[in-house]
């Protein structure tokens, strides 16, 4: 089902004619071109005194020094960030190595205890068989009766 068009919100109502858009762009370019044309070798516009030129040069130099300081601060910050990332990665590697070592120690201890258990069970089974066959020296003591 198609939605009804709302006459006041049609797109063509908001479009600028192409001529007006090109004219506005041209006017903007004409106004901004003197700003782009000022370089060190260009002649100064009328009304600029030597004091104004000196102030502008000083302000430009101050801005250049400020920008250089920002760039250095950014580079220092980036280096610090990268050092931090490296430290985190090294910590992750150390944690993984510690976990692997702890797991290996756990598995070794578990294996050792399993072997000791199996040996104790084998001895107990042998003692029970010997006791059943009449070797009283291998029989365990009877549990004490409780009062």
Each residue of 122-139: pLDDT tens digit?
999 999 999 999 888 888
Give the pLDDT score at 140.
77
Non-local (6+) Cβ contacts of 34 within 8 A are 45
Give the pLDDT score at 16.
47
Q: Taking the complete model, does pTM exceed 0.85, yes or no?
A: no
DSSP letter (8 states) at residue 47:
T
Q: Decide if 76 contacts 84 (C-beta within 8 A).
A: no
CA atoms within 13 A on the CB side of 126: 6
Give the pLDDT score at 21.
52
**pLDDT digit string (tens) for 64-118?**
999 999 999 999 999 999 999 999 999 999 999 999 999 999 999 999 999 999 9
Residue 47, φ and ψ in degrees, nearest 5: 95, 0
Give the pLDDT score at 4.
56
Non-local (6+) Cβ contacts of 16 within 8 A are 24
Give the pLDDT score at 24.
54
* H/E run at residue 35: helix 18-37
Q: How far is CA 103 from the centre of its chain?
A: 28
Give the pLDDT score at 137.
87
Question: Does 19 have pLDDT greater than 50?
Answer: no
């Amino acid at each position: 089902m198609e939605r009804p068009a709302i006459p006041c919100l049609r797109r063509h109502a908001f479009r600028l004619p192409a001529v007006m858009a090109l004219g506005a762009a041209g006017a903007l370019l004409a106004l901004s071109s003197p700003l782009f044309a000022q370089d060190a070798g260009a002649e100064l516009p009328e009304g600029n005194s030597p004091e104004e030129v000196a102030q502008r040069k000083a302000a430009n130099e101050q801005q250049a020094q400020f920008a250089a300081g920002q760039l250095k601060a950014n580079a220092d910050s980036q280096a610090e960030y990268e050092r931090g990332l490296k430290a985190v990665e090294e910590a992750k590697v150390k944690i993984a190595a510690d976990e692997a070592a702890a797991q290996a120690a756990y598995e070794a201890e578990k294996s050792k205890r399993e072997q000791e258990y199996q040996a104790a069970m084998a001895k107990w089974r042998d003692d029970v068989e010997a006791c059943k066959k009449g070797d009283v020296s291998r029989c365990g003591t009877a549990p004490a009766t409780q009062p």
